A = this chain, B = another copy of it.
Amino acid sequence: MRILGIVVEYNPFHKGHLYHLNEARELVAPEVTIAVMSGNFVQRGEPAIVNKYARCEVALSEGVDLVLEIPAVYAIQDAGGFALGSVWTLEHLGVTDIVFGSETADLKMLETTAGVLILEPPDYKESLKAYLKDGLSFPNARKFALRDYLAREFGALSERIEEIGRSNNILGLEYITAIKLLGSNMKPGVVKRVGADDTEKVFTGEFSSATAIRQMIRSDEWNKVALSVPAKSMEILRKEIAAGRGPVFPERIQDLLVPFARATPREDLSRLYGFSEGLDARFKSCADNSTTLEEFVDCVKTKRFTRTRICRTILNAVFSIRPRLVEKSRALGPQYLRVLGFNEKGRAFLSDVKKQLSIPMITTPSLWKKLLKKSQRDGPDIDVELFKEQLFLDFRASSLYAFLCPQRSAIKGIMDFKEPVRYREE
């Protein structure tokens, strides 16, 4: 039995996503297709443009059989943490094939590179250190160190290593690394991305990037949006916006972030995840002198602190995420499988694998206490403290997300307690 896993954000679901989904299914010919998706906050360190239930509905309507949420502690981490949490979730479900999008679709190069990242040969490590010392951001330092190492060891690859730096290749690299780290048998596959790079910020036709589409939504260019997303995605976007639940743009967090960073003691920030290398002091002084998110990020930004790292660190601060939670999450993995929705095939699959799962499966979050008690009694054996910390972070993320919606009272309370798991009839 072949089970296809894909890792997605669908922020929002567009034609490039549909292309990837269809190509991946063609490639693997799976019995079941499972998507693990970030929740209400995405890996760029931003709130998603519409909430996770809405995005799940589109995924189901476009052919995904089962949608799970990546716990927020992984979803808002760097590419490595994001990939680890995603692949670990897929591994729990017995996924046989993972297919990701890539600018190059050169699996061999990605695998060779992942090997270097895991083994960290001394030469590579030294060169990485040197680049970091020069003030480069970690992703850039790593890129250059890899380039040098691979050029030395495998001359043939040297010209193409620049490509590694492109965002989806980095993610692909991280998926492969995660598979290796977990000792998983999952088989990686790639689909060459079509259309615009995710860094492309403007409309480039049918295959515009998610970034560009969010930009079109902001500027109310709905004719362009309609060209770039499937009909169902369009319908859901429209519905969410009409209900006051979207669009949620990143700057909506500025009314919280800037005053929060002004009011919080530097020492409190320094105890949170991601505030190394003096970022705490930088946050303080930039907050004192900024009134918008843009001003704040521009003030904090340096060669070393990239925009997305800053945004993720903002979320670490806002959610009060401590290093211990992240470290434990990396070491022990997700402590539950959070189901957002399924069709009949997905439901049947879940009911088949349910008994063999080594972590509990959550379909009704309001019953988490009961579920935890049951799992303490009958297994599976999990880290109870970590289970609670991961799950509560998801709840806090949902509660904050609701406040960021254009109409603040559009979502009452924590949506996870009220929204039913999505079921799509064939």
Are A291 and B409 in contact (CB-based, < 8 A)? yes
**Contact status of A262 and B400, CB under 8 A, knowing A268-B320, A413-B288:** yes
Chain B residue nearest in CB terms to A262: B399
Question: Residue among A258, A265, A414 with the most chain B CB within 10 A?
Answer: A265
Are B288 and A414 in contact (CB-based, < 8 A)? yes
CB distance from A287 to the nearest CB of B (A): 7
**Contact status of A260 and B256, CB under 8 A, knowing A288-B413, A291-B408, A409-B291:** yes
Q: Mark A232-269, 1 if CB is under 8 A from B, else 0.
A: 00000000000000000000000110111011110010
Are A288 and B255 in contact (CB-based, < 8 A)? no
A318 to B402, alpha carbons, bound, how many Å? Answer: 20
Residue A222 at the B interface, CB < 8 A? no
Contact of A263 among B262, B263, B265, B396 (CB under 8 A): B396
**A window 285-325: CB within 8 A of B:** 287-289, 291, 318-320
A409 to B290, alpha carbons, bound, how many Å? Answer: 8
A259 to B260, alpha carbons, bound, how many Å? Answer: 10
Q: Mark A385-426, 1 if CB is under 8 A from B, else 0.
A: 000000010001101101110001100111000000000000
CB distance from A286 to the nearest CB of B (A): 11
Question: Residue among A258, A263, A265 with the most chain B CB within 10 A?
Answer: A263
Are B263 and A320 in contact (CB-based, < 8 A)? yes
Contact of A258 among B264, B397, B403 (CB under 8 A): B403
Chain B residue nearest in CB terms to A407: B291
Contact of A256 among B255, B396, B399, B413 (CB under 8 A): B255
CB neighbours of A263 from chain B (8 A): 256, 318-320, 396-397, 399-400
A260 to B255, alpha carbons, bound, how many Å? Answer: 10
A169 to B100, alpha carbons, bound, how many Å? Answer: 71
Copy number in the complex reads: 2
Are B291 and A403 in contact (CB-based, < 8 A)? yes
A258 to B291, alpha carbons, bound, how many Å? Answer: 19
CB neighbours of A396 from chain B (8 A): 262-265
**A window 332-372: CB within 8 A of B:** none
Are A265 and B408 in contact (CB-based, < 8 A)? no
Are B399 and A288 in contact (CB-based, < 8 A)? yes
A318 to B260, alpha carbons, bound, how many Å? Answer: 7
Chain B residue nearest in CB terms to A287: B399
**Contact status of A259 and B403, CB under 8 A, knowing A264-B396, A320-B265:** yes
Are B262 and A320 in contact (CB-based, < 8 A)? no
Are A289 and B256 in contact (CB-based, < 8 A)? no
A420 to B332, alpha carbons, bound, how many Å? Answer: 55
Are A259 and B291 in contact (CB-based, < 8 A)? no
Q: Mark A73-116, 1 if CB is under 8 A from B, else 0.
A: 00000000000000000000000000000000000000000000
Contact of A404 among B259, B288, B408, B414 (CB under 8 A): B259
CB neighbours of A318 from chain B (8 A): 259-260, 263
Chain B residue nearest in CB terms to A292: B408
CB neighbours of A288 from chain B (8 A): 399, 413-414
Chain B residue nearest in CB terms to A258: B403
Nearest 9 A-B pairs (CB), nearest first? A262-B399, A291-B408, A255-B255, A256-B259, A263-B400, A259-B403, A262-B400, A288-B399, A263-B318
Task: Sample 21 A-B pairs with CB under 8 A, ordered by A number.
Answer: A256-B256, A256-B260, A259-B318, A259-B403, A260-B318, A262-B396, A262-B400, A262-B402, A262-B403, A263-B318, A263-B319, A263-B320, A263-B396, A263-B399, A263-B400, A264-B320, A265-B396, A288-B414, A289-B413, A291-B408, A291-B409
Contacts A259-B404, A260-B318, A262-B402 given; 19 further ones with Cβ under 8 A? A255-B255, A255-B256, A256-B259, A256-B263, A258-B403, A259-B318, A262-B396, A262-B399, A262-B400, A262-B403, A263-B319, A263-B396, A263-B399, A264-B396, A265-B396, A268-B320, A288-B399, A288-B413, A289-B412
Which residues of A are interface residues toward B (Cβ below 8 A)?
Answer: 255-256, 258-260, 262-265, 268, 287-289, 291, 318-320, 392, 396-397, 399-400, 402-404, 408-409, 412-414
